[in-house]
Amino acid sequence: MRMKTLMTAALCSILALGLATPALAGDWMVEGLFGYYDPDSIDDNGEIYGARVGYRVNEHFGMLLSGGVIDLEDDFVDIESADLQFGLFLTDFSFHWYPTGKNFYLFAGPGYASIDLEIDIPGSNNDIEESDTVFTVNGGLGYQWMIGEGFY
């Protein structure tokens, strides 16, 4: 599971780098993200990583494709050598409407989520593996803060 996580992160980084070149020429937006998730109830940190690619068709309409992964691993309760692994993969495609033609926008669109859960408990035939997928709908409000070259 850990090797799969690292390979996925490397591929997302290469994809973001490759897509960044045409983004410089027009109204494209490319983002890569990586971080750590540290909930109180889990002993070990989890990784969060993903990429977003967007295109603003004109001053009033745009679209965004995003994908991300949350990967958690933890020692499970008080059972010695027990292990919990949780993986969540999310992808969304959203349409953006900029009513004023500026930075404020409304967005909505379909999505997809895949959840993988694995609990390893010592002993024979004690392990549990579950996986589920679901289609989602996303929507909301946003503000695009264009920092510009002056920030760097």
User: Do the Cβ atoms of 47 and 68 come closer than 8 Å?
Assistant: no
Residues in the chain: 152
Q: What is the pLDDT of residue 28?
A: 82
User: Cα(57)–Cα(103) distance, rounded to whole angstroms?
Assistant: 14
Give the chain's mean pLDDT. 76
The confidence score (pLDDT) of residue 2 equals 52
Share of the chain above pLDDT 70, in %: 66
Taking only the tens place, the pLDDT of each residue in 47-106 is 788 998 998 888 889 899 999 988 877 655 566 666 777 888 889 999 999 999 888 899
pLDDT above 70 for 116: yes
- Assigned token pair, 28: 């494209």
